[in-house]
Amino acid sequence: MKRLLLLGSLLAFSTPASALVRVVTSTADFASIAQAVGGKRVEAVSLAKGYQDPHFVEPKPSFILRLSRADLLIVAGLDLETGYLPPLLDQSRNGKIRPGSPGYLDASVGCEILERPSGVVTRAMGDVHPFGNPHYWLDPRNGRVIARAIAAKLSSLDPAGAAEYRTNLAAFEARLAEGEKRWDALLAPFAGTEVVTYHNSWPTFLKRFRLKAAGYVEPKPGVPPSPAHTIQLINLMRTRRVQLILMEPYFDERGPQSIAQKAGARVLTFIPSVGGVPAAKDYVALFDYDVKLLADALKARPR
Ligand SMILES: [Zn+2]
Protein backbone atom coordinates (compact mmCIF):
# COMPACT_ATOMS: atom_id res chain seq x y z
CA MET A 1 0.00 0.00 0.00
CA LYS A 2 2.78 2.32 0.98
CA ARG A 3 4.65 1.48 -2.23
CA LEU A 4 1.57 2.12 -4.30
CA LEU A 5 1.09 5.50 -2.70
CA LEU A 6 4.69 6.37 -3.34
CA LEU A 7 4.41 5.27 -6.94
CA GLY A 8 1.26 7.32 -7.30
CA SER A 9 2.88 10.45 -5.95
CA LEU A 10 5.95 9.95 -8.14
CA LEU A 11 3.75 9.66 -11.19
CA ALA A 12 1.84 12.77 -10.21
CA PHE A 13 5.11 14.59 -9.76
CA SER A 14 6.73 13.47 -13.00
CA THR A 15 3.69 14.15 -15.16
CA PRO A 16 2.22 17.56 -14.38
CA ALA A 17 0.49 16.91 -17.69
CA SER A 18 -2.95 18.30 -16.97
CA ALA A 19 -1.94 21.83 -17.89
CA LEU A 20 -4.59 24.36 -17.04
CA VAL A 21 -4.29 26.44 -20.18
CA ARG A 22 -3.75 24.84 -23.58
CA VAL A 23 -2.04 27.28 -25.93
CA VAL A 24 -1.60 26.80 -29.68
CA THR A 25 0.56 29.22 -31.64
CA SER A 26 1.39 29.61 -35.31
CA THR A 27 5.16 30.02 -35.01
CA ALA A 28 7.42 28.32 -32.49
CA ASP A 29 8.59 31.70 -31.20
CA PHE A 30 5.22 32.52 -29.68
CA ALA A 31 5.03 29.03 -28.16
CA SER A 32 8.45 29.51 -26.59
CA ILE A 33 7.49 32.86 -25.07
CA ALA A 34 4.09 31.52 -23.93
CA GLN A 35 5.77 28.54 -22.25
CA ALA A 36 8.27 30.82 -20.52
CA VAL A 37 5.52 33.08 -19.22
CA GLY A 38 3.00 30.31 -18.54
CA GLY A 39 5.37 27.90 -16.81
CA LYS A 40 3.73 24.83 -15.32
CA ARG A 41 0.20 26.19 -15.74
CA VAL A 42 0.45 26.19 -19.52
CA GLU A 43 1.08 23.76 -22.36
CA ALA A 44 2.17 25.70 -25.45
CA VAL A 45 2.52 24.02 -28.85
CA SER A 46 3.21 25.59 -32.24
CA LEU A 47 1.77 24.48 -35.56
CA ALA A 48 4.82 25.49 -37.63
CA LYS A 49 8.24 24.05 -36.96
CA GLY A 50 11.10 26.50 -36.71
CA TYR A 51 12.66 25.32 -39.97
CA GLN A 52 9.44 25.76 -41.99
CA ASP A 53 8.34 28.79 -43.99
CA PRO A 54 5.86 30.51 -41.63
CA HIS A 55 3.85 31.75 -44.64
CA PHE A 56 3.24 28.32 -46.09
CA VAL A 57 2.71 25.69 -43.41
CA GLU A 58 1.39 22.37 -44.63
CA PRO A 59 -1.84 21.64 -42.74
CA LYS A 60 -2.10 18.33 -40.89
CA PRO A 61 -5.17 16.64 -39.37
CA SER A 62 -3.45 16.84 -35.97
CA PHE A 63 -3.59 20.66 -36.22
CA ILE A 64 -7.39 20.55 -36.19
CA LEU A 65 -7.39 18.36 -33.10
CA ARG A 66 -4.97 20.70 -31.34
CA LEU A 67 -7.04 23.73 -32.26
CA SER A 68 -10.28 22.08 -31.17
CA ARG A 69 -8.86 21.59 -27.66
CA ALA A 70 -7.07 24.94 -27.35
CA ASP A 71 -7.94 27.61 -24.79
CA LEU A 72 -5.75 30.23 -26.43
CA LEU A 73 -4.55 30.75 -30.00
CA ILE A 74 -1.64 33.12 -30.61
CA VAL A 75 -0.99 34.29 -34.16
CA ALA A 76 1.40 36.75 -35.82
CA GLY A 77 -1.45 38.38 -37.69
CA LEU A 78 -0.72 40.78 -40.60
CA ASP A 79 -1.89 37.91 -42.83
CA LEU A 80 1.14 35.70 -42.05
CA GLU A 81 -1.14 32.70 -41.44
CA THR A 82 -3.75 33.50 -44.04
CA GLY A 83 -2.58 30.73 -46.39
CA TYR A 84 -3.37 27.85 -44.03
CA LEU A 85 -4.96 28.78 -40.71
CA PRO A 86 -8.51 30.05 -41.46
CA PRO A 87 -9.86 26.70 -42.83
CA LEU A 88 -8.25 24.79 -39.95
CA LEU A 89 -9.85 27.17 -37.47
CA ASP A 90 -13.23 26.61 -39.13
CA GLN A 91 -12.84 22.86 -38.97
CA SER A 92 -11.78 22.93 -35.33
CA ARG A 93 -15.24 24.31 -34.40
CA ASN A 94 -13.71 25.98 -31.36
CA GLY A 95 -15.50 29.27 -30.78
CA LYS A 96 -13.20 30.15 -27.86
CA ILE A 97 -10.22 30.88 -30.12
CA ARG A 98 -11.84 32.61 -33.08
CA PRO A 99 -10.65 36.13 -33.96
CA GLY A 100 -12.30 38.54 -31.54
CA SER A 101 -12.91 35.86 -28.89
CA PRO A 102 -11.18 35.98 -25.49
CA GLY A 103 -8.99 33.01 -26.45
CA TYR A 104 -7.47 34.73 -29.50
CA LEU A 105 -4.33 36.83 -29.36
CA ASP A 106 -2.89 38.72 -32.31
CA ALA A 107 0.72 39.15 -31.18
CA SER A 108 1.35 42.06 -33.55
CA VAL A 109 -0.79 44.40 -31.46
CA GLY A 110 1.52 46.82 -29.66
CA CYS A 111 4.65 45.68 -31.51
CA GLU A 112 6.70 47.89 -33.78
CA ILE A 113 5.71 46.81 -37.29
CA LEU A 114 7.91 47.91 -40.17
CA GLU A 115 6.91 48.51 -43.80
CA ARG A 116 3.26 49.20 -43.10
CA PRO A 117 1.72 50.21 -46.41
CA SER A 118 0.38 53.74 -46.55
CA GLY A 119 -1.85 53.42 -49.60
CA VAL A 120 -4.48 50.94 -50.70
CA VAL A 121 -3.50 47.35 -49.91
CA THR A 122 -3.42 44.94 -52.86
CA ARG A 123 -1.80 41.60 -53.44
CA ALA A 124 -0.41 42.65 -56.78
CA MET A 125 2.75 40.76 -57.71
CA GLY A 126 2.01 38.11 -55.09
CA ASP A 127 3.35 40.18 -52.20
CA VAL A 128 2.84 38.17 -49.01
CA HIS A 129 3.41 41.16 -46.71
CA PRO A 130 0.29 43.22 -47.49
CA PHE A 131 -0.14 44.79 -44.03
CA GLY A 132 3.48 45.37 -43.05
CA ASN A 133 6.32 43.00 -42.24
CA PRO A 134 4.99 39.98 -40.30
CA HIS A 135 8.42 38.71 -39.11
CA TYR A 136 8.46 41.27 -36.28
CA TRP A 137 9.28 38.76 -33.49
CA LEU A 138 12.91 38.95 -34.64
CA ASP A 139 13.44 42.10 -32.57
CA PRO A 140 13.82 41.28 -28.87
CA ARG A 141 12.04 44.54 -27.99
CA ASN A 142 8.97 43.14 -29.74
CA GLY A 143 9.55 39.85 -27.90
CA ARG A 144 9.16 41.77 -24.66
CA VAL A 145 5.89 43.35 -25.88
CA ILE A 146 4.61 39.92 -26.92
CA ALA A 147 5.54 38.38 -23.55
CA ARG A 148 3.64 41.11 -21.70
CA ALA A 149 0.58 40.64 -23.91
CA ILE A 150 0.68 36.88 -23.33
CA ALA A 151 1.00 37.37 -19.55
CA ALA A 152 -2.03 39.68 -19.55
CA LYS A 153 -4.02 37.26 -21.69
CA LEU A 154 -3.14 34.23 -19.55
CA SER A 155 -4.04 36.16 -16.41
CA SER A 156 -7.46 36.97 -17.78
CA LEU A 157 -8.10 33.37 -18.90
CA ASP A 158 -6.67 31.89 -15.68
CA PRO A 159 -6.87 34.54 -12.92
CA ALA A 160 -5.68 32.08 -10.26
CA GLY A 161 -2.31 31.97 -12.05
CA ALA A 162 -1.85 35.76 -12.30
CA ALA A 163 0.89 35.98 -9.66
CA GLU A 164 2.79 33.10 -11.23
CA TYR A 165 2.56 34.66 -14.69
CA ARG A 166 3.87 37.94 -13.27
CA THR A 167 6.86 36.19 -11.72
CA ASN A 168 7.59 34.21 -14.88
CA LEU A 169 7.28 37.33 -17.02
CA ALA A 170 9.79 39.19 -14.84
CA ALA A 171 12.24 36.27 -15.15
CA PHE A 172 11.78 36.18 -18.93
CA GLU A 173 12.32 39.93 -19.25
CA ALA A 174 15.46 39.75 -17.11
CA ARG A 175 16.84 36.95 -19.28
CA LEU A 176 16.02 38.91 -22.41
CA ALA A 177 17.71 42.06 -21.07
CA GLU A 178 20.86 40.07 -20.29
CA GLY A 179 20.72 38.63 -23.79
CA GLU A 180 20.41 42.07 -25.37
CA LYS A 181 23.62 43.13 -23.65
CA ARG A 182 25.44 40.12 -25.12
CA TRP A 183 24.00 40.64 -28.61
CA ASP A 184 24.70 44.37 -28.63
CA ALA A 185 28.30 43.74 -27.60
CA LEU A 186 28.81 41.17 -30.38
CA LEU A 187 27.22 43.20 -33.18
CA ALA A 188 28.12 46.79 -32.20
CA PRO A 189 31.44 46.69 -34.14
CA PHE A 190 29.51 46.06 -37.36
CA ALA A 191 26.94 48.88 -37.10
CA GLY A 192 25.95 50.12 -40.55
CA THR A 193 27.05 46.92 -42.33
CA GLU A 194 24.87 45.92 -45.26
CA VAL A 195 23.76 42.37 -45.93
CA VAL A 196 21.41 40.75 -48.45
CA THR A 197 18.63 38.45 -47.27
CA TYR A 198 16.71 35.89 -49.30
CA HIS A 199 13.19 36.70 -48.11
CA ASN A 200 12.53 39.97 -46.27
CA SER A 201 12.44 38.15 -42.90
CA TRP A 202 14.84 40.26 -40.86
CA PRO A 203 14.08 43.97 -41.11
CA THR A 204 13.32 44.24 -37.36
CA PHE A 205 16.41 42.21 -36.45
CA LEU A 206 18.65 44.32 -38.71
CA LYS A 207 17.17 47.59 -37.46
CA ARG A 208 17.54 46.57 -33.81
CA PHE A 209 21.23 45.79 -34.28
CA ARG A 210 21.92 48.76 -36.59
CA LEU A 211 22.57 46.67 -39.68
CA LYS A 212 20.96 47.16 -43.09
CA ALA A 213 19.46 45.12 -45.90
CA ALA A 214 21.00 46.18 -49.21
CA GLY A 215 18.59 43.97 -51.14
CA TYR A 216 16.77 40.66 -51.32
CA VAL A 217 17.15 37.52 -53.42
CA GLU A 218 13.37 37.60 -53.92
CA PRO A 219 12.27 40.56 -56.06
CA LYS A 220 9.26 40.91 -53.73
CA PRO A 221 8.28 38.89 -50.65
CA GLY A 222 6.94 35.55 -51.84
CA VAL A 223 8.01 36.08 -55.48
CA PRO A 224 10.72 33.67 -56.72
CA PRO A 225 13.99 35.18 -58.01
CA SER A 226 14.06 36.22 -61.68
CA PRO A 227 17.20 36.35 -63.87
CA ALA A 228 16.97 40.13 -64.33
CA HIS A 229 16.58 40.78 -60.61
CA THR A 230 19.44 38.39 -59.83
CA ILE A 231 21.84 40.24 -62.17
CA GLN A 232 20.86 43.56 -60.58
CA LEU A 233 21.44 42.10 -57.14
CA ILE A 234 24.90 40.76 -58.05
CA ASN A 235 25.89 44.18 -59.40
CA LEU A 236 24.56 45.92 -56.31
CA MET A 237 26.44 43.54 -54.02
CA ARG A 238 29.68 44.11 -55.93
CA THR A 239 29.29 47.88 -55.89
CA ARG A 240 28.40 48.07 -52.21
CA ARG A 241 30.81 45.29 -51.22
CA VAL A 242 28.11 43.24 -49.51
CA GLN A 243 29.73 40.21 -47.89
CA LEU A 244 26.82 38.11 -46.75
CA ILE A 245 23.55 36.63 -47.95
CA LEU A 246 21.35 35.55 -45.04
CA MET A 247 19.14 32.69 -46.13
CA GLU A 248 16.19 31.08 -44.37
CA PRO A 249 16.63 27.29 -43.95
CA TYR A 250 13.61 26.49 -46.13
CA PHE A 251 14.91 27.85 -49.45
CA ASP A 252 17.06 26.12 -52.06
CA GLU A 253 20.65 27.11 -51.45
CA ARG A 254 21.80 26.84 -55.07
CA GLY A 255 20.53 30.25 -56.21
CA PRO A 256 22.03 32.20 -53.31
CA GLN A 257 25.31 30.23 -53.59
CA SER A 258 25.64 31.15 -57.25
CA ILE A 259 24.87 34.82 -56.48
CA ALA A 260 27.38 34.82 -53.62
CA GLN A 261 30.07 33.29 -55.80
CA LYS A 262 29.61 35.91 -58.51
CA ALA A 263 29.49 38.76 -55.99
CA GLY A 264 32.43 37.57 -53.87
CA ALA A 265 30.19 36.98 -50.87
CA ARG A 266 29.06 34.00 -48.83
CA VAL A 267 25.76 32.48 -47.73
CA LEU A 268 24.77 32.07 -44.08
CA THR A 269 21.78 29.93 -43.15
CA PHE A 270 20.09 32.21 -40.68
CA ILE A 271 17.41 30.89 -38.38
CA PRO A 272 14.12 32.80 -38.32
CA SER A 273 12.36 30.84 -35.57
CA VAL A 274 12.86 28.84 -32.40
CA GLY A 275 13.71 25.21 -33.24
CA GLY A 276 15.12 26.05 -36.69
CA VAL A 277 18.25 24.32 -35.42
CA PRO A 278 18.44 22.33 -32.16
CA ALA A 279 20.63 25.02 -30.55
CA ALA A 280 17.88 27.62 -31.02
CA LYS A 281 15.83 25.86 -28.36
CA ASP A 282 14.01 28.92 -27.05
CA TYR A 283 13.47 32.59 -27.86
CA VAL A 284 16.66 33.81 -26.18
CA ALA A 285 18.75 30.93 -27.56
CA LEU A 286 17.50 31.83 -31.06
CA PHE A 287 19.16 35.24 -30.84
CA ASP A 288 22.27 33.76 -29.24
CA TYR A 289 22.58 31.44 -32.22
CA ASP A 290 21.93 33.98 -34.98
CA VAL A 291 23.94 36.81 -33.44
CA LYS A 292 27.01 34.65 -32.91
CA LEU A 293 26.76 33.19 -36.42
CA LEU A 294 26.52 36.67 -37.92
CA ALA A 295 29.22 38.26 -35.77
CA ASP A 296 31.64 35.41 -36.54
CA ALA A 297 30.97 35.73 -40.27
CA LEU A 298 31.45 39.51 -40.26
CA LYS A 299 34.62 39.18 -38.18
CA ALA A 300 36.07 36.71 -40.67
CA ARG A 301 36.33 39.35 -43.38
CA PRO A 302 37.89 42.79 -43.57
CA ARG A 303 35.24 45.52 -43.56
ZN1 LIG B 1 7.49 37.04 -45.09
Q: What is the pLDDT of residues 225-262, one digit of tens each?
A: 999 999 999 999 999 999 999 999 999 999 999 999 99
CA of 30 to the centre of ligand 1 (A): 16
Residue-level pLDDT at 268: 97
Residue-level pLDDT at 204: 97
Residue-level pLDDT at 302: 54
CA of 281 to the centre of ligand 1 (A): 22
Residue-level pLDDT at 9: 43
Residue-level pLDDT at 5: 45
pTM for this structure? 0.92
Residue-level pLDDT at 126: 60
pLDDT digits (tens, 9 = 90+) for 40-54: 999 999 999 999 999
Residue-level pLDDT at 301: 66
Residue-level pLDDT at 120: 72
CA of 160 to the centre of ligand 1 (A): 38
Show the low-confidence residues of the chain (pLDDT under 70).
1-19, 121-126, 301-303
Residue-level pLDDT at 14: 41
| Three-class SS of the chain | CHHHHHHHHHHHHHCCCCCCEEEEECCHHHHHHHHHHHHHHEEEEECCCCCCCCCCCCCCHHHHHHHHHCCEEEECCCCCCCCCHHHHHHHHCCHHHCCCCCCEEECCCCCCCCCCCCCCCCCHHHCCCECECCCHHHCHHHHHHHHHHHHHHHHHHCHHHHHHHHHHHHHHHHHHHHHHHHHHHHHHHHCCCEEEECCCCCHHHHHHCCCEEEEECCCCCCCCCCHHHHHHHHHHHHHHCCCEEEECCCCCCHHHHHHHHHHCCEEEECCCCCCCCCCCCCHHHHHHHHHHHHHHHHHCCCC
CA of 139 to the centre of ligand 1 (A): 15
Residue-level pLDDT at 281: 98
